[in-house]
Amino acid sequence: MRELVLRKKDHVTVRKELRQERTAYSYMALATPLVFGAFGLLLGRRHERLRSAQEQINRMHEEFCAIAAHDLRNPITALQLRLETLRERMKDGSANLPAEALERLVTNTRRLDQLVSQLLDATRIDSRKLEIAAVPTALPECISPIVDRLRMTVGKHSLELAIEGAPPAVMADPSRLDQILTNLVDNAAKYSPDGTPIRIAIRPEQGGATLSVTDRGFGISKDELPHVFERFYQSSRARAKKSGLGLGLYITKGLVDAHGGKISVASQPNRGSTFAVWLPRATPG
């Protein structure tokens, strides 16, 4: 505007300036609805995407609650019934709990404890709040007693431990290593026929050491393989068994990641599977 006043003697220049000003305004006036329209469209699309993501989260939440409620209710109901019976019997002085009933109480309590721990760990992994206390660890010494304990849990399977070469010490949290191995051996036993062997091996591997669990079980199909580490994923065979939440491998991978390690799987249907966990070596000093 000030420029126009300064040049008001020069008729031609002023008109030219005015024309330019008008052109700029009218261009803006024309462009504004287009810009706002495009912006509105973008916002609309973004809103739509957010809404469908939110719907997906809600669906997952519902699915999760249904599964958790189902799996938690069974052991709780069994526990409740047993405890009520025990109370009645104690009242009339005949509280001599049969060993088998006591065993079932212990098993159900353990299962309940496992489920709650699994849910808590999965939540911690989701919110990246999983904490590990990694220390230099010699795998053979750490794994051996765990394998001895696991032998009592694998039913009719045999459990073999092989130490190949001289694996270096790795950075690991021993209690989390226990959880990793327990989950993998639990799966190996669950998804293979009774009597088949399960082999645990420890060997040196580039920059660290690998701990692997091999079974001669049902294996995993090519289609299912990319999904086994996903939260709540279970094959149709596993779902039909109605056992577990499909969280074991999700948590195992979360634990391995928290160690700065890697987990991989190789499997052939009806031949078996190998899950391998690589952990970085402990740096000296």
Q: Minimum CB separation from Mg ion for residue 104, in Å?
A: 22
Contact 172, 142 (CB under 8 A): yes
Query: What is the footprint of ligand ATP within residues 141-200 (CB under 6 A)?
Result: 187-188, 191
Closest CA to 137 of 160, 181, 105, 171: 171
Nearer to Mg ion, 115 or 282 (CB): 115
Contact 272, 215 (CB under 8 A): yes
Whole-Å CA distances, 78 to 64, 75, 108, 112, 252 = 22, 5, 7, 11, 28
Contacted entry of Mg ion, ligand ATP, none for residue 108, CB cut-off 5 to 8 Å set by kind: none
Whole-Å CA distances, 168 to 146, 176, 195, 206 = 19, 18, 33, 10
Nearer to Mg ion, 209 or 251 (CB): 251
168, 208, 217, 248: which one contacts Mg ion (CB under 5 A)? Answer: 248
Contacted entry of Mg ion, ligand ATP, none for residue 167, CB cut-off 5 to 8 Å set by kind: none
Q: Minimum CB separation from Mg ion for residue 156, in Å?
A: 18
Asked if 228 interacts with ligand ATP (CB under 6 A), we say: yes
Tokens 């039909």 belong to 240
Contacted entry of ligand ATP, Mg ion, none for residue 233, CB cut-off 5 to 8 Å set by kind: ligand ATP
Q: Minimum CB separation from ligand ATP for residue 83, in Å?
A: 25
In this structure, the strands spanning 272-280 and 262-268 are antiparallel
- CA separation for the pair 160, 215 (Å, rounded): 11
- CA separation for the pair 204, 166 (Å, rounded): 6
Q: Hey, how many other C-beta atoms are within 10 angstroms of the C-beta on 248?
A: 22
Closest CA to 204 of 172, 177, 165, 174: 165
Please, which residues bridge with residue 162 across strands? 201
Stretch that binds Mg ion, among 11-19, 214-222, 226-234, 245-253 (CB under 5 A): 245-253
- CA separation for the pair 232, 253 (Å, rounded): 13
Asked if 248 interacts with ligand ATP (CB under 6 A), we say: yes
Q: Minimum CB separation from ligand ATP for residue 167, in Å?
A: 23
Please, which residues bridge with residue 165 across strands? none
Nearer to ligand ATP, 171 or 251 (CB): 251
- CA separation for the pair 274, 186 (Å, rounded): 13
Asked if 192 interacts with Mg ion (CB under 5 A), we say: no
Q: Minimum CB separation from Mg ion for residue 151, in Å?
A: 18
249, 255, 256, 277: which one contacts ligand ATP (CB under 6 A)? Answer: 249
Nearer to ligand ATP, 181 or 282 (CB): 181
Residue span 158-187 as binding mask against Mg ion, x where in contact by CB under 5 A, dash where not? -----------------------------x
Token output for 104 = 């079932």
Asked if 218 interacts with ligand ATP (CB under 6 A), we say: yes
Q: Minimum CB separation from Mg ion for residue 108, in Å?
A: 18
What does the binding site for ligand ATP look like in residue numbers (CB under 6 A)?
Answer: 187-188, 191, 215, 217-220, 228, 233-235, 238, 244-250, 273
What does the binding site for Mg ion look like in residue numbers (CB under 5 A)?
Answer: 187, 248
